[in-house]
Structures are given as C-alpha cells and as structure tokens.
Structure 1
Amino acid sequence: MTPPKPETSQEIGWTPIAEEAERAARVLHPEGNTLPRPRRRRVLTVANQKGGVGKTTSAVNLAAALAVHGLRTLVIDLDPQGNASTALNVEHRSGTPSVYEVLLGEVSLAEAAAVSEQSPNLLCVPATIDLAGSEIELVSMSSRETRLKEALSAEAFDELQVDYVFIDCPPSLGLLTVNAMVAAQEVLIPIQCEYYALEGLGQLLSNIELVQQHLNPTLAVSTILLTMYDGRTKLADQVTQEVRNHFGEVVLKTVIPRSVKVSEAPGYGQTVLAYDPGSRGAMSYMDAAKEVAERGAEQGVRGELS
C-alpha cells in the first residue's frame, strides 16, 4: 500500500497563524524589496496640535519602515515628553546630548544623533526633560524661529547621509513647532478617524500658512495620514470620506487601523515593526511608508494645501 503524500501548504489551507508568519517574514526580510530613494532629501514635520492622534507613533513607524527597506532615516524628537526616543529605545536621560543642545548650538546634529538598535539605517536625535523649558528660553533668543533650521543644514545632513528626516512635534502650536516648520520642506499631518478629527485643523493650516508667508515660503502640506481607523463603525468611514473629499490626493491611500499592538510597542522600547511585524498595524505602516517613498521618488513634494 502506497503511503499517503505529505500535505502541501496549499492543501493544508489558509490559517491566521500561517498568514501572520508570512507577513512577519516579509517585514523582517525585505531583501530584494528595497524602496526607491527620493529625488532629493525629504524633511517632514509631523504636526497636529491635537494630542492622541498617532503623531509620534506615525513618525517612528514610518521612519522604521523606510529604514528596514534600505533608506537611511533620521527622527528628530522635538517633543519634551520624549516618546519618539522611547519608541526607538535611544538614551534620553537628562545630560544626554539631545535636540535641546542642538537648538542652543552647543552640539552638532551628528553629535546628538544616536543609532537605534532596531536598524542601522535608523537614527534618532533624542529629547530630554531639558527641552521642557526651551520654549521660554527661546523667546529671548535672536532668530528664535530659525534655531532648528540653522542646526539642520545640508552639511549636517550630508554628514549623517540621510534620505528622510521626520521631526516629531509636541501637541501644540508653540515655538518648537514653528521651528520644526521653518526647518522642514513638508508637513505630514496625522488625522484620527474619529468625531473630533477636524477640530482645530483649520488653526493648524492657518499657522502653516503664516509660516509660509513670513518664514518658509517653500513649506507645503504634502501628506495626510488617517490613523486609528475602526472598520466596525460607520463614523470612521464618514470621517475618512470627508477628509479625502476635502484634501484629495494629499491623503495617503493607506489607513492605519486602531491596534493594540501599535499601542503596546513603545512600552517595550520598540516600534510596532519590531514588536509584532506580522500585525495589521505593522503592515499598514509598511504600506504607508511605501506610498511615501514612491511619492518622493516620483516628484518630491506632492500636492499643496491652500
């Protein structure tokens, strides 16, 4: 009697565990699947004065996804809470060379930048508690709105050889956020798929317009990312549709789902790509990063909001 043939994976059929393992393998081993380099170095300020919209989460996970796919990426943590530094697991105790010293001109960008253990292509300029009082100190300084721009010179970026720079802003429209907008070419706005999503967005766009008029005429809102999407609710679809109708192709096609894994990852000093690479959250950020990279390769800044 002929023994039965061992079942192939196709005959065994689909299982959730098998699918997640396959997704994790694609994230962890992207060989041959590198993303295109941008036509020019892209500096994006990740801003939204509304807290809890996934701003820091989006900054670190987009940066990690680009880094995993071969693009050298720098995250500048400009939020005194230091959450981006925590998620990338870089030292940010008081006394560590940080963005605070960079703003004051005491250390160079390269001296403050640390390599994240999650990828050799992923760098972070951390934020320490010293940054908490920096807005008050900046008020009396000369060129207070351009301190960060002066530190983020082309020469400083060339020394680090970075393709992408993400500046993670605090949830406010103060001097730190203004410095970030003056230093950047683009603004990336995360918007949560919830009722109050557009509340305060008009004020953010007004501030961006003021920066364009008086401090940085080349600044453009190039990217809007919808976060915390819950497919079980009609509200999420309504908000998504409203944002797409209003802002058009500036909005990424990829939507980031509400995910426990995404929320848990920073507690372990990791991005969601390192914490659970097969999760929906990780795959969504990978897809979003791919869109960002493809847009950068096509034409640099895509779209501009008036």
Structure 2
Amino acid sequence: METTSERIERRINELWDRLRERGAPDFRDRDDRTLRSFSLGEVAEILGVSGSYLRQLSIDGLGPTPGLGTAGRRSYTLRQINELRAYLASARPKEALKFCPRRREGEKLQIISVASGSASTTTSYYLAQGLALQGYRVLAIDLDPKGSLSKMFGYYFPDIGCPDHPTTMYGALRYDDDRVSMSSVIRPTHFDGLDLVPGTFELEIFERESTKRFDNEDLRHPDASIRMVDALKEVEQGYDVVVIHCGRGGFLTAGAYEAATGVLVTVRPQWPEIKSMGLSLYRFSHLVSLIEKAGRSVNYDFTKYLVTGHDPRDVSQQEAVALLRDWLGDDLLTATVWESDAIRQAWMKNRSLYELSAGEVGRSAYEQAMETLNSTNAEVMDLIAEVWGRPPMYVSRASRTAGKASS
C-alpha cells in the first residue's frame, strides 16, 4: 500500500515530469547554469556604439578576442563585454562614464529596496540583471523566506536551512556570537558583476528571534533594522548598487527600508491591485515611522512606483494608469512593463529574457518585452546618475533603441 508521503511525492514527480515536457527546469536537477554569449549587434547596443566599430576593433586586435561562430559571426561573453568597457573607457576617456558607469570616489552606494507586491520578484530580477549588463557591480539580496528571487537565479534550498551554517542574511544579522561576516553569505551568479544573498526559510529564524526579543527584551523594529545597515557597510566598497527584494517579514523589511537609499513600489493597473498597494503603503509608512521615532531620519533619494503587467489595449487598465499618473505625478515611472507572453515563457524556463535569444520565445514578443524592460531599467539608472551628479543618458539611449526595434 502507498503511504501518504509516498503518494504526495509521486504527485510531485508527475508534476515535474509534465512541466519538463513543456520546457520548465526541474529543481531536482543541479542548476549549474551559464550565461549565453551575446552577438556583436547586441554588444553594440549594450555599449552604445556601432557594430562596425566593434568589428574593426576585433580586426585590429584591440580589446578582448570575441568568439567566432558560423559564417565568422562574432560573439562576446558578459565578462568580455566588461573587458571591452574597461578598454573603451581608457581609449575614449571623455566617454569613460558611458562605458564604465561604476561609482567613483565620493559617490555613495545605491541601495534600492523593491517593496513586496505585484511582480516584485520579477522586477528585482530584471533590474539586477539589467544593471549588471550595463556594467554596474550589483548585489541582489533575497529577503523572501520562500526564496522566490533565489530560485530564479538557480538557487534551490529544499530544507529550511541550518542555524549553524547560515546561507542567508540571517547569518549576517543574527544576535548571538555565531553571527558571520556579510561577505560569507554572498554567492556569485552566472552574471559577471552580479552577486546574490539567497533567501530560504532560514530567514524566519531571524523573524522569530526578533519577535521573541521584541516581547521579552524591549527590542523594537529599529533595533533590528540597524543591523541591516551595519551589514551592508561591510561590503559597500565592492558594489555600486544593491537591489533588495523585500519579503513579508516585519523586522527584515524594516531593515530593508532603513538601509535603502531608494524604494521601488510595483503595482498592476487593476483596481483590486491598486487598493492592495494602497494598504501596503500603510505598512511601509508604519515601519518608517518606527525608525524615525527611534531618532534616525529616513531620507530617500527617490521613491518611485512602477506599473507592471500592463495591457495598454485594456480600457479599464488605461483608466487605472491614468488615475495612478494623476495621483503620483512624477513619482510614477514613465515606462510601464507590459504583459508579455515572452516574459511568461522565460519564467517557465526559469530564465530571464536577458538570458535567452529572441528565437527561443518569438522575435516580435521578445523585442516588445525587451523594449519595456529596458525602458524601465533606463529610468532607474538615470535616477542613480542624478543622485551621483551625472547627466542622464540611459532613457535617451533606450528611446533610440526602441525606435530601431520598431522600424
């Protein structure tokens, strides 16, 4: 006779077999993923130069040596793209910021907390990868105990974690003598220049411990949240931008909001979703007020709202977006992320569109989705440039790229 646990396991196996038939990866497989190479045309678009210029550099033996495919087509890995950045910044010093946007001395680390909400995981994923593709040194932090962002990067943790060998922010935040350095919980990803602090059920240990101290030792949210600030200071010299994917935990989320220099709030243009976002803003306000009452000011460089899952042909969604623009004004990003079959297909493959080629999801849908994603990321990168006192350039570049795609 089949036991209950055996029956459940059989159902799980059947489910994964069927999903694999449709191209979805199986978490039971070891996910040693690598990032694809980028065509010469893609690299030219990323760097903002012409393909003929890159081709001539290759012919002259300048910069990294690209791979050669069929018909002599050149391609570059992301590491080689970053090597190209360093070469171009040296060869064309007047355009050094364009090619190598890493922060300079005196420019502060940008910490962007993506509030928990509609498509917040996907937004964090594409923002972190998009920044890395543009040459920023990025640290992504997953504060979701379910590890939703970590799974998208290929990190699977079927167990609840081990307090003696922490793998999440819990290790760098815990209250006892076993607290570890921030650098020890950081893991590399398959994107050059992009690291990750994974999220697992281990994070719930921190929430439970904080709650216990809150009840018994007069601990308050700010007493726990300042630990996040201190942990990030340990590694701030190694990164330009930190993207924090907030979970539902109160103490961890308070830490994300205190550490942040900017906050990104996502919302779908549907009336129930807008109402839900409005309610979540009360929680945002409450956590920030607790930090302020503790005598620590909270001054963000920006708080922006992003419309995701947008169908511009839907009349009710048009009305919802109009309401959001009237209500939020310039705080609402101009670009919206459209509802896209290409993004859904990439998600089914446990990949982002940056990791796939157009042929894997359909060229038209791919280009349209990439246009909305790149436009969103461009606005965020221009916000960062403004904070650092630099002229904006990414939105205008994204607009030119969109025009080429449309034509």
> TM-score, normalized by length of structure 2?
0.60
1:287 aligns with 2:363: no
Deviation at 1:261, TM superposition (A): 2.8
Stretches of 4+ moved more than 6 A in 1? Answer: none
**What is the match of residue 213 of structure 1?**
292
Q: Which amino acid aligns with 2:46?
A: P
Q: Which runs of 5+ in 1 are unaligned?
A: 1-21, 302-306
1:178 aligns with 2:243: no
Rounded to whole Å, the distance in 1 between the matches of 2:39 and 2:315 is 28
1:76 aligns with 2:141: yes
Rounded to whole Å, the distance in 2 between the matches of 1:279 and 1:23 is 15
Rounded to whole Å, the distance in 1 between the matches of 2:230 and 2:309 is 35
Paired residues of 1:138 and 1:144 also in contact (CA < 8 A): yes
Rounded to whole Å, the distance in 1 between the matches of 2:172 and 2:257 is 16
Paired residues of 2:170 and 2:205 also in contact (CA < 8 A): no
Sort the Cα spacing of 1:90 and 1:35 in 2 relative to 1 into closer, same or farther, 3 A.
Answer: farther
**Which deviates more, 184-193 or 205-214?**
205-214
**Which deviates more, 283-292 or 69-78?**
283-292
Q: Which runs of 5+ in 2 are unaligned?
A: 1-37, 50-98, 214-218, 359-365, 390-407
Rounded to whole Å, the distance in 2 between the matches of 1:226 and 1:178 is 24
**Secondary structure in 1 matching 2:47:** coil
**What is the match of residue 10 of structure 1?**
none
- Which has the larger share of helix? 2
Q: Which amino acid aligns with 2:371?
A: M
Deviation at 1:132, TM superposition (A): 3.0
**What is the match of residue 65 of structure 1?**
130
**Secondary structure in 2 matching 1:295:** helix
Deviation at 1:35, TM superposition (A): 7.4
1:192-226 CA distances to partner (integer Å, 9 max, x unpaired)?
Answer: 11112321424145325515633552343522111
Rounded to whole Å, the distance in 1 between the matches of 2:43 and 2:337 is 16
Sort the Cα spacing of 1:272 and 1:166 in 2 relative to 1 into closer, same or farther, 3 A.
Answer: same
Deviation at 1:27, TM superposition (A): 7.0
Sort the Cα spacing of 1:109 and 1:209 in 2 relative to 1 into closer, same or farther, 3 A.
Answer: closer
Q: Which amino acid aligns with 1:101?
A: G
**What is the match of residue 19 of structure 1?**
none
**What is the match of residue 326 of structure 2?**
245
1:127 aligns with 2:208: no
Rounded to whole Å, the distance in 2 between the matches of 1:218 and 1:203 is 16
Q: Which amino acid aligns with 1:214?
A: K
Rounded to whole Å, the distance in 1 between the matches of 2:368 and 2:100 is 20
Sort the Cα spacing of 1:231 and 1:27 in 2 relative to 1 into closer, same or farther, 3 A.
Answer: farther
Rounded to whole Å, the distance in 2 between the matches of 1:29 and 1:88 is 24
1:222 aligns with 2:299: no
Sort the Cα spacing of 1:250 and 1:26 in 2 relative to 1 into closer, same or farther, 3 A.
Answer: farther
- Residue number among 94, 112, 115 corresponding to 1:47 in the alignment: 115
Rounded to whole Å, the distance in 2 between the matches of 1:279 and 1:298 is 28
Paired residues of 1:90 and 1:124 also in contact (CA < 8 A): no
Paired residues of 2:258 and 2:288 also in contact (CA < 8 A): no
Sort the Cα spacing of 1:272 and 1:100 in 2 relative to 1 into closer, same or farther, 3 A.
Answer: farther
1:109-132 CA distances to partner (integer Å, 9 max, x unpaired)?
Answer: 211111111x11111100122123
Sort the Cα spacing of 1:110 and 1:209 in 2 relative to 1 into closer, same or farther, 3 A.
Answer: closer
**What is the match of residue 255 of structure 1?**
336
Query: How many percent identity over aligned positions?
Result: 23
**Secondary structure in 1 matching 2:203:** helix
Rounded to whole Å, the distance in 1 between the matches of 2:308 and 2:156 is 28
**Secondary structure in 2 matching 1:297:** helix
> TM-score, normalized by length of structure 1?
0.78
Rounded to whole Å, the distance in 2 between the matches of 1:268 and 1:149 is 35
**Which deviates more, 222-231 or 133-142?**
133-142
1:264-293 CA distances to partner (integer Å, 9 max, x unpaired)?
Answer: 434434223213564433332222111111
- Which has the higher Rg, Structure 1 or Structure 2? 2
Paired residues of 1:35 and 1:293 also in contact (CA < 8 A): no
**What is the match of residue 188 of structure 1?**
264
Deviation at 1:300, TM superposition (A): 5.2
CA RMSD across the alignment: 2.8
Q: Which amino acid aligns with 1:294?
A: D
- Residue number among 138, 149, 156 corresponding to 2:229 in the alignment: 149
- Residue number among 140, 160, 169 corresponding to 1:99 in the alignment: 169
**Which deviates more, 193-202 or 210-219?**
210-219
Higher relative contact order structure (alpha carbons within 8 Å, sequence separation ≥ 6): 1
Rounded to whole Å, the distance in 1 between the matches of 2:356 and 2:269 is 24
**Which deviates more, 27-36 or 247-256?**
27-36
1:203 aligns with 2:278: no
Q: Which amino acid aligns with 1:238?
A: E
1:244-275 CA distances to partner (integer Å, 9 max, x unpaired)?
Answer: 11111121111001123323434434223213
Q: How many aligned residue pairs are there?
A: 272
Paired residues of 1:88 and 1:271 also in contact (CA < 8 A): no
1:34-58 CA distances to partner (integer Å, 9 max, x unpaired)?
Answer: 574464321011113x4xx110110
Rounded to whole Å, the distance in 2 between the matches of 1:106 and 1:70 is 32
**Secondary structure in 1 matching 2:167:** coil
